[in-house]
Amino acid sequence: MTTQEAFYSYIVRLGDDSLILGQRLSEWCGHGPVLEEDIALTNIALDLIGQTNNLYELAVSIENKGKNIDQLAFLRLEKEYENLLLVEQLNVDFGYTIVRQFFFDVYRKLVFEALCNSSDERLAGIAEKSLKETKYHLKHSSEWVIRLGDGTEESHRRVQEAVNTLWKFTDELFFQDEVDQNVIELGLGVDNSNFKVTWDSHVEHVLTEATLTIPSNSWQHAGGRKGIHTEHFGYLLSEMQYMQRAYPNMEW
């Protein structure tokens, strides 16, 4: 694997995480629990799609084969997406959506903070811009985790169930393979093992305040970074890719 290939894959993975979570969140559009939250969730979805846009633009310029970013977003096959399994999980209800977002936001803030020091200036620039957005996402999701966990009996039960179900996708946040090794060596990407402890303690702190418990079940799911997805992913792709496949090269 050349450095160029590794850096390309690294950026595409970052973009895939944003794209798939953005797509999931956008499913809330018009279905939010209250009008204000409907707008909040779709704002976050738009931030994520915007990050995807910047990351894919960087990826295609690294690859330098004349691809456009719509091809990356809409014309790859299932196995060619290498997002975290966490972000493709179903919305289920508002509690699940918030817990998924919270786990991701804590991680993503740490990633962007570190990427602000990337040896690639373009990536550092994207990280700096995205970090501001992510800080707000984290504030939003943290406040909701606490409200729901420490709220009514029903909200506590639902959000605890979400924590129990989604916990098995959290180890994958710290997955590493040769793509990561390559970019870490050159200071292009981040060594996510450096902030595993920070992630753990941040999540534990908020969950404790929310009177929620971390499941003791230690079995963990992985595969997203190798293109092996959970069953929900195909349905997400068919909806997301429909326009570009039905009307090839369409623009708007």
- Binding residues (CB under 8 A) for other proteins: these are 34-37, 39-40, 43, 136, 139-140, 143, 147, 152
> Taking the complex as a whole, how short is the minimal distance between the CB of residue 204 and other proteins, in angstroms?
22
When the beta carbons of 139 and 245 are compared against other proteins, the nearer one is 139
**Angle at alpha carbon of residue 30, lines to 28 and 31, rounded to 5°:** 55
Q: Could you tell me if 156 and 72 are in contact, meaning their C-beta atoms sit under 8 angstroms apart?
A: no
Tell me how far, at minimum, the Cβ of 148 lies from other proteins, in Å.
11
Q: Which is nearer to other proteins, 137 or 229 (CB)?
A: 137
Nearer to other proteins, 50 or 227 (CB): 50
Q: Find the shortest distance in angstroms from Cβ 43 to other proteins.
A: 5
Q: Nearer to other proteins by C-beta: 153 or 231?
A: 153
How far apart are CB 106 and other proteins at their closest, in Å?
18
In angstroms, the first-to-last Cα distance of the chain is 36
CB-CB contact of 42 with 28 (8 Å): yes
Among 33, 20, 31, residue whose Cα is nearest residue 144: 33
Count each helix (H run) and each strand (E run) in the chain, helices first. 10, 0
Buried b (16+ CB within 10 A) or exposed e, 224-244: bbebebbeebeebbeebeeeb
How near is the Cβ of 1 to other proteins at its closest, in Å?
41
Question: Given the complex with other proteins, which of 93 and 239 has the nearer CB atom?
Answer: 93
